Amino acid sequence: MPSFRTTRRVRHRAVDMFDLVADVDKYPLFVPLCQALRVRRRTEEADGRMVVVADMTVAYKVFRETFGSRVTLDREKLAILVEYLDGPFSHLENRWSFRDDGQGGCIVEFFIDYSFRSRTLGMLMGTMFDAAFRRFADAFERRADAVYGKAVPAG
């Protein structure tokens, strides 16, 4: 099963990065391959976590696929879990976590693993998805710079 993991220090506070990643409605503006995103529903759990069920349409050249996911936003723990619901995958899960670094920035951890339902689709789209996931962290960091500015030097 393909997977990708990255950990990086960014110039922004953990809570700001959490908010930026949690704002799924804005993904079509900056997330690689994300052509559209439609929120089906948002609900607040009894424990304070927010759950968003959404459909994301990814497109690249002639390929276009839509998949549903359940996004659990745990603001208290500064963690986000994305679980696959339906679409072209047999499995997709990704996790984000954010922790302040004590210098005005934070450490962002991103992990994703997935597999396509169809071996043919996996062969056709797998390389493109791998490349896109490797650009995800950069895309979110650039978006944070655009939204919050570049206040803390990277190190």
Instruction: Give per-residue pLDDT as tens, 50-94.
Output: 999 999 998 877 778 899 999 999 999 999 999 999 988 889 899
What is the pLDDT, as a whole number, of residue 132?
Answer: 72
Which among 97, 92, 90 is positioned nearest to 15, based on CA atoms?
97
Number of domains in the chain: 1
Distance from the first to the final alpha carbon of the chain? 33
Would 26 be classed as within a structural domain?
yes
128 pLDDT more than 80? no
Taking the model in full, what pTM does it have? Answer: 0.88
Would 155 be classed as within a structural domain?
no
Would 141 be classed as within a structural domain?
yes
- In whole angstroms, give the CA distance from residue 111 to residue 97: 9
What is the pLDDT, as a whole number, of residue 79?
Answer: 98
The first and second tokens of residue 132, run together, are 């896109």
Would 21 be classed as within a structural domain?
yes
Domain region containing 38: 3-148
Which domain CATH number covers 104?
A: 3.30.530.20
What is the pLDDT, as a whole number, of residue 60?
Answer: 78
33 pLDDT more than 70? yes
Would 40 be classed as within a structural domain?
yes
- In whole angstroms, give the CA distance from residue 27 to residue 139: 10
The first and second tokens of residue 105, run together, are 């920035």
- In whole angstroms, give the CA distance from residue 40 to residue 70: 10
The first and second tokens of residue 25, run together, are 């409605």
